[in-house]
Structure 1
Amino acid sequence: MIFILFFLCTLLSYLYLKKQKKGKQKQRAKLLIPPGSMGWPYIGETLQLYSQDPNDFFAEKQTRYGNIFKTHILGCPCVMLASPEAARFVLVTHAHLFKPTYPKSKEKMIGPFALFFHQGNYHTNLRKLVQSSLAPEAIRKLVPDIEAIAISALESWASTVGEVIHTFHEMKKFSFEVGILSIFGHLDGKYLEQLKENYCILDKGYNSFPTNLPGTAYNKAILARKRLGEILSEIICERREKKLLGKDLLGHLLNFKTEEGQTLNEDQIADNIIGVLFAAQDTTASVLTWILKYLHDDQKLLEAVKAEQKMIYESNDGGKRPLTVD
């Protein structure tokens, strides 16, 4: 009896201590997780986000919980960062502790083979490939063509007398055309218009609520993504048939081989082309928009830029020789 009582006491003590330890761990975890609301099961706070202006949604959260708060959007638990210090922690000082992930609805839009959905050798090889294709040496050769796109855009804006020009939207159009030039070189007009039309639909539906019902923005975007894949497949087949591999990004993707001799299939090439377009467009357009704002607000800066441009123009014989960049 004594032995049995001793065994039961030991067992009960062990279970009690284990329960206490779990309680402390839960309490510690609660202290580490930022404040905020996770909303409804699975849906989270997605409906609240999409039923109002996103800026208002996040502003209310910041006011209530501070610059770091938790939420639940598109089926994913999230921690939102709204301070430079927190962003620096994630992106710079402790970047090795984090890895980029995207909601499945976003991954489906761009394509699962896009390099920023991967890590390891696949990511490293494709990243080097993209960087070399878009390096300053490669872009330098495209400067005259980029200049022509810029002049065309300026002439288009000048013709819209009395109308409001939405700078960011116009910069998105400009960066898209430059992106197409960098990826394909001089692309046939038919393909250019098809890519532009379907990519515009994809872009509009990218941040829409992921309801794949006929007529919804998300459904239209999914269908446009399918058409983009078909268009890119035609372009790839045409390049291969004519053996016009070129030195643009598409040429580099077609020529790519791993150390084992493996090449990229059409889906991998298409996903990475759309991924590069998507990654470059908004960020480039945003930077260009801010540049225009600063030039507008600072007249001394604007005059300095004009003087530099005049000097470059005169050094190229008044525009008779192609523009070069040092």
Structure 2
Amino acid sequence: MDPFILYSLAFGVVYICIYLIFFIPKQYKNLPPGSSGWPILGENMDMFYSSPEKFIHGRMKKYSSQVFKTSLVGEKIAVFCGTSGNKFLFSNENKLLTTWWPQSLTKPLMCPTQSQNTLRELALLNREFLREILKPENLKQFIPFMDSMARDHLNQEWLPFKEVKIYPLAKKYTFSLGCKLFLSIEDFRHVKKLSDPFVLVTSGIFSVPINLPGTPYNRAIKGGKMVREELLRVIRERKKNEENFNDLLSRLMSFSDENGEFMNDEEICNNIVGLLVASYDTTSAAITFVLKYLAELPIIFNEVHREQMEIAKSKGRGELLNWDDIQKMKYSWNVACEAIRLIPPAQGAFREAITDFTFGGFTIPKGWKTLWNVYSTHKNPKYFPEPEKFDPCRFEGSGPAPYSFVPFGGGPRMCPGKEYARLETLVFIHNVVSNFKLEKLVPHEKIIYQSSPVPVNGLPVRIQPHGN
């Protein structure tokens, strides 16, 4: 045989072997049951049009109560369910799984210079740095600011009116507070310059990443660009300013790692963006739905009002709330927990498998994304008898079973802003309940889902000052 032909055949065999080994996807047996939905779109539309809760429960019933597969945000997803699923994901962080965020979230929000690897490093920084500055002992100083801003907000946006819409006002308050505490920005026009594009971002960050004119993802890209440009401008101006500020931005600018290296402007921006998104979306949703139930349930409202008035009567004229006051709001926090059990502000979070592993007898391949969710446990009668009943007593004593109540996640990746959200929610409840009675104006208002649940009419209520 001609040597050239022989060498060609040998080369062809080697090439085919390499191709089969490295480029043909590995065939896995016993993948989780489920559906991938439509090409490209996956099951995004099914999930958000039917509501995440119905989507999760329907597929648990159809496929598996432990784990099922789907396709969301352009990725293959294994959805883990139940307390065992929550425990598994929370306990295997950095062992079997690592941080992962959808492109529909990272591309609009994060500075373009940040790669996915850098985002993972950033997540480690968040856990170490943000947990430190958001610890309860470090947040105590924020409580009087929260209270003062809540009072001003109610005087300007509530008191002059007989009827208000709670949801947009809660978003306005939480975002303004975030701008004040994180960036020392108070001017209304400057706050609005940041908040307006955030509306575009949060409505598209969990959509299919199709960047075509008119799509939610396209609007999120445009909004995110405006937010980043404004934040980078604020950061650069702060570096030129010799004035001392006691806010998160100053602490981020002065923070250095073990090698003595400081964060660059883009890294600082990414940290600020993450906190603003959380304070703008999830906390405002939590406040909204706590007030929804207080407006619906007079007996619950009266108990919260009694607790808050005892605190108010113990204060001097004009004296602001402090840490000790917050610790007395035990029943009010139980009410808040029950509200976010029934209508969770956040639906869950993603991880990425860094190796093949099994769960519930099913194989989860390396590279697959995973999702833990609140819906498989929050209304499970095994953990919450009469799950649709509003009962704050569930949170007395030791509270619900481990891994059953997970609005803030769990394990190493538990939301570092949990305590901040608790303080902000309780301070706002104190001010509203101490001043007003609430009456819902749309009895059966529909709730739709974007990145958080949204009342379609904005939760309009009639307000009546106490004593009138």
Q: Is the 8 A contact 1:34 1:70 kept in 2?
A: yes
Q: Structure 2: how far apart are the matches of 1:44 and 1:209?
A: 8
Q: Structure 2: how far apart are the matches of 1:34 and 1:265?
A: 42
TM-score scaled to structure 2, two decimals? 0.54
- In the alignment, what sits opposite 1:135? 135
SS in 2 for 1:243: coil
Instruction: Give me the CA root mean square deviation.
Output: 3.3
Report matched runs for 1:192-271 at 5 Å: 192-271=191-270
- In the alignment, what sits opposite 1:147? 147
- In the alignment, what sits opposite 2:33? 35
- In the alignment, what sits opposite 1:3? none
Over 3 Å counting, the alpha-carbon distance change for 1:205 and 1:75 in structure 2 is: closer
Over 3 Å counting, the alpha-carbon distance change for 1:87 and 1:281 in structure 2 is: farther
TM superposition shift of 1:111: 0.8
Report matched runs for 1:258-297 at 5 Å: 258-293=257-292, 295-296=294-295
Q: Structure 2: how far apart are the matches of 1:128 and 1:47?
A: 36
Q: Structure 2: how far apart are the matches of 1:207 and 1:268?
A: 22
Q: Structure 2: how far apart are the matches of 1:160 and 1:315?
A: 28
SS in 1 for 2:76: strand
- In the alignment, what sits opposite 2:99? 100
TM superposition shift of 1:286: 4.0
- In the alignment, what sits opposite 2:60? 62
Over 3 Å counting, the alpha-carbon distance change for 1:228 and 1:305 in structure 2 is: same
Q: Is the 8 A contact 1:37 1:70 kept in 2?
A: yes
- 1:187-210 Cα offsets, whole Å, 9 max, x none, are 343321101111122112223332
Q: Is the 8 A contact 1:115 1:123 kept in 2?
A: no
TM superposition shift of 1:275: 1.0
- In the alignment, what sits opposite 1:191? 190
TM superposition shift of 1:229: 1.4
Q: Which amino acid aligns with 1:53?
A: S
Q: Structure 1: how far apart are the matches of 2:284 and 2:163?
A: 23
Q: Is the 8 A contact 1:239 1:245 kept in 2?
A: no
Q: Which amino acid aligns with 2:202?
A: D
Q: Is the 8 A contact 2:252 2:263 kept in 1?
A: yes
Q: Is the 8 A contact 1:114 1:275 kept in 2?
A: no
Instruction: Structure 2: give runs of 5+ residues left out of the alignment.
Output: 1-25, 325-468
TM superposition shift of 1:293: 4.8
Q: Which amino acid aligns with 1:61?
A: R
Q: Structure 2: how far apart are the matches of 1:84 and 1:97?
A: 18
- In the alignment, what sits opposite 2:421? none
Q: Is the 8 A contact 2:108 2:225 kept in 1?
A: no
Structure with the bigger percentage of strand: 2
Counterpart check, 1:87 vs 2:86: yes
Q: Is the 8 A contact 2:108 2:224 kept in 1?
A: yes
Over 3 Å counting, the alpha-carbon distance change for 1:188 and 1:290 in structure 2 is: closer
- 1:191-245 Cα offsets, whole Å, 9 max, x none, are 2110111112211222333222233332222122111111112211221111235
Q: Is the 8 A contact 1:45 1:72 kept in 2?
A: yes
TM superposition shift of 1:287: 3.5
Q: Structure 2: how far apart are the matches of 1:263 and 1:206?
A: 29
TM superposition shift of 1:310: 3.0
TM superposition shift of 1:253: 0.9
Q: Structure 2: how far apart are the matches of 1:166 and 1:304?
A: 21
Over 3 Å counting, the alpha-carbon distance change for 1:216 and 1:291 in structure 2 is: closer
TM superposition shift of 1:82: 4.1
- 1:164-199 Cα offsets, whole Å, 9 max, x none, are x354x5433332222222211343433211011111
Structure with the bigger percentage of helix: 1
Instruction: Structure 1: give runs of 5+ residues left out of the alignment.
Output: 1-24
- How many residue pairs were aligned? 293
Q: Structure 2: how far apart are the matches of 1:137 and 1:115?
A: 33
SS in 1 for 2:210: coil
Q: Structure 1: how far apart are the matches of 2:183 and 2:286?
A: 23
TM-score scaled to structure 1, two decimals? 0.75
Q: Is the 8 A contact 2:44 2:73 kept in 1?
A: yes
SS in 1 for 2:62: helix
